[in-house]
Structure 1
Amino acid sequence: MYKSEFFVYEQGKPYSVCIRNYTKDDFDGLIEIQSECFPPPFPSDLWWNKEQLANHVELFPEGALCVSVDGNLAGSLTGLRVNFDPAHPDHTWEDVTDNGYIRNHLPDGNSLYIVDISVRPNYRKLGLGKLMMQAMYHVVIEKGIDRLVGGGRMPGYHKEASSMTPEQYLEKVMAGELKDPVITFLLRCGRVPVAVVKDYLEDEESGNYAVIMEWKNPFKNEGVPGNGI
């Protein structure tokens, strides 16, 4: 099981941080975090429920991480294992995650798929999302999984949709000409775009599009020019 304790600093002030696997005792707090991260008009029935969370800790506890700051629950990151083929990236969030219930988790799946990442708004300046993502990279390496992958929303796209395609929007974000709250964050975490997919999730801000983004296990990245293989 995973547990890492350390300090982060914001404006010179230290905060005690712990990243660990979440358990049944955390369920109420995790649902509260979802309500803060996805307020109305986001439908409340899409927040975590206790049956989903119970599946996370039973079926793939290594993929159920949370972060606390000074003892207060501040965020979570959830994943499952699937078989993912980058040559055929089209899928929906509902299908690949079993609508968040992860009953389709494959213990020997070649990829760790990110179901959700959430950080309380009041704690977002501490870089907790990136720290949890890095912790999940440790899981990928420890278990010898090929990659970490997931779909990134494009919540800034609706502002530009009348003048460019989602692919063009992604190009401008990657060039630094535009900044997207999610895609820019994932790029900073080391994730690399694989493809833009449509109808990934009912998401008006993103036009229902998402960018499938991966992080390859550097210890299993074979056949890349210049790596000595």
Structure 2
Amino acid sequence: MKKADVFEFFRRLAEANPSPETELESVNIYTLLVAVVLSAQATDAGVNRATRALFAEVDTPEKMVALGEEGLKQHIKTIGLFNTKAKNVIALSQALIEQHGGEVPADRAALEALPGVGRKTANVVMNVAFGAETFAVDTHLFRVGNRTGLAPGKTPLAVELRLEKVVPQPFRLHAHHWLILHGRYVCKARAPECWRCPVVDLCRYKPKTLAPKAKRADSTIPT
């Protein structure tokens, strides 16, 4: 995608949603970290349903350790991979207490050193909690980056590094939120809704998806 097109791409997404936010619910930076860890291979909506009661009761690493692994499982058992995630959340909570005075570090490398925290999770926390211009590449963003031609890459890291190069100011802070939301609600995996896409003319995806009514009309035309 050309430099001018990239700027226009983000300008339109920003115009439609000037202040995008993560859809994960949290009450502080610690619970944000926990929510992001729990969201791996799960929907934000599913995580939110499980954590509302949890975060009303547990909002610090100390409280989480006191709750314990079995107690945590009872709260998050509706989330995929909840056994492994419960183990990781307790372990990362202990690490925060022992290594960071119970505070979430504002450093990507330190975050990635915590149990259950990968690069994507660290990037989300750095961006949302600390205002860093990071690009958290989830499945939605990976798809949008490749499908549109904005940031093609064979791996999430390749897409992230490409975004680092091409995303201009003043869009860098919110770029990954715009792309994730665009992928979640418009540029969907199986059937992208190209007919209502604000950047359809800038996108490199060739088989544009027609609106449902247009599809039905086309199907009646003899071949």
TM-score (structure 1 length as normaliser): 0.27
TM-score (structure 2 length as normaliser): 0.27
The structure having more radius of gyration, on CA atoms, is 2
Q: Which has the higher strand share?
A: 1
Q: Which has the higher contact order (CA 8 A, sep 6+)?
A: 2
